[in-house]
Amino acid sequence: MVGSSKVKEEKPYCLVLAFPCGPWSLLMSLRPLFDLARKRQEGRILPRFALDLAKLQKPEGRHFALENPIPSKAWTLPEMEQALSDLESFEARFGQCRLGLCDGQGNPHKKPTRFCTS
């Protein structure tokens, strides 16, 4: 893949990897006519790619951070759970309001987020 060859070549000190949460969102379960299983199968490519990049970083003494909402079903993918264990990652959970996220009216917006990092 192009991205992995670029990472191998440039050796960034830290990669922040945030894949789309769409297919993994709990809200998707509320759409009964939506083919969620197919969307999630198609959507596995980006979390897997993020994990592949994280796996390139760790052995080289470089760092990664994976980000997705706390309730994202992507965190429960077997390959995600296994990789995060193998990479001995650390986890942080917080609302993005702590980073200043606000809605259109300027009110704090919680957006519960999970980071797993080296």
DSSP result, 74-92:
GGG-HHHHHHHHHTT-EEE
Q: Which residues touch 28 (CB under 8 Å, ≥6 apart)?
A: 22, 34, 36, 39
Q: Work out the burial of residue 42: count CB atoms within 10 Å of its CB; fewer than 13 is exposed, 13-18 middle, 19 or more buried.
A: exposed
What tens digit of pLDDT does each residue of 54-106 get? 999 999 999 999 999 999 999 999 999 999 999 999 999 999 999 999 999 99
Q: How far apart, in whole angstroms, are the C-alpha atoms of residue 108 and residue 63?
A: 30
- Candidates 20, 73, 12; CA nearest to 45 is 20
What tens digit of pLDDT does each residue of 27-59 get? 887 876 678 888 889 899 999 999 999 999 999
Q: How far apart, in whole angstroms, are the C-alpha atoms of residue 100 and residue 79?
A: 32
pTM of the entire predicted model: 0.86
What is the helix (H) or strand (E) element at residue 56, kind and residue range? helix 45-57
